[in-house]
Structure 1
Amino acid sequence: MVELIDPSHTLYAIHLHLSSEVKIEVGKLGSFLFEKGDYIYVGSAKRNILARINRHKKEEKVQKWHFDYLRPHGVITKIITYETSIGECQLAEKLRKKSEGHFPIKKFGSTDCRCPSHLIYTAN
């Protein structure tokens, strides 16, 4: 796993690989079929980004965030942090364009904002 982490940053992107498709119940969002491939989850932590990232790395935990439901089904391949010159939504859109991906599930990780999703599917 590649980790490019700066503790002074407040944004992060977790790259996760699913080796096969899987149907997952994602809290109140509902049940979704996740295709085999690569996903990027964008999040933020205003305080202690290292603790948030370490929590996301764990496969077994109380399910609090949407990513918690997806995490046990895949392998984390990369984690990168970003400074806050752009916001979480803008970072998600920037990474979607760069990866030529799409947002597979509406409001995944973004129920508290107006953007489509903070989960990107890249199919690689």
Structure 2
Amino acid sequence: MFGKRSLGPGVTYILFLELPEPGWIGVGSLGDVYFRDGVYVYVGRARSNPEARIRRHILGPGKKRWHIDSLREHAEPLGLILMPGAWWESVVASYLSEVYLPIPGFGGTDIGSSTLFYLGKEFDPLQVLELLEEKFSKVEFADHVI
């Protein structure tokens, strides 16, 4: 899935999902949440074994563990962007919250802000990559699969 290149000890990943139909989705402790149809971006981190975490998001969660698993059950992955270092999660999420519509309740308690954002019905994930490359110009993005 990722070739011969290891992702290293920790990564921040930016996952793009497309929800084909609007509707209510049960999201664990959040209860039923209404989602519009369209493209969502989720910012996450994996401190260890990032390949397994990303594979889970791409192939489907199986058993639900995180809030994003509930949305992923109904949405299809469009692609992802990888950044070296798990510490970027909160920085990227904070930046995206200034640009896109945050979905409340998604994100770790240590983040303090949402890590799921609604981008709209017709959205090109490459626009987010361009924004991130411009904002974080000193970061060498590990990879992007879009």
Name the TM tier (shorter chain).
Answer: 0.7 to 0.9
- Name the amino acid aligned to 1:118: T
Distance 1:11 1:19 in 2: 26
Between the two proteins, the alignment pairs up a number of residues equal to 116
Distance 2:39 2:63 in 1: 24
Q: What are the ranges of 5 or more consecutive residues in structure 2 without an aligned counterpart? A: 123-146
Task: Confirm whether residue 102 of structure 1 aligns to residue 101 of structure 2.
Answer: yes
Which of 96, 100, 113 aligns to 1:116? It is 113
The alignment partner of 1:50 has SS state of helix
- Give how far 1:90 is off: 1.1
- Give how far 1:85 is off: 8.2
- TM-score, length-normalised on structure 1? 0.82
* CA 17–85 in structure 1, closer or farther in 2 if over 3 Å, else same: closer
Higher relative contact order (CA 8 A, sep 6+): 1
The alignment partner of 2:73 has SS state of helix
- Name the amino acid aligned to 1:77: L
- Residue 7 of structure 2 corresponds to 7
Q: Please give the residue correspondences for 1:1-124 in structure 2 after superposition, counting only pairs within 5 Å.
A: 7-8=7-8, 9-59=10-60, 61-84=62-85, 87-97=88-98, 100-104=99-103, 106-110=104-108, 112-123=109-120, 124=122
Give structure 1 regions of 4+ aligned residues with deviation exceeding 3 angstroms. Answer: none
- TM-score, length-normalised on structure 2? 0.71
Which digits, 9 at most, give the CA deviation of each residue in 1:63-113, with x for residues without a partner?
A: 00111101121111011111238531111122344xx31102x22123x22
The alignment partner of 1:61 has SS state of coil
Contact 1:13 1:81 in 2 (8 A): yes
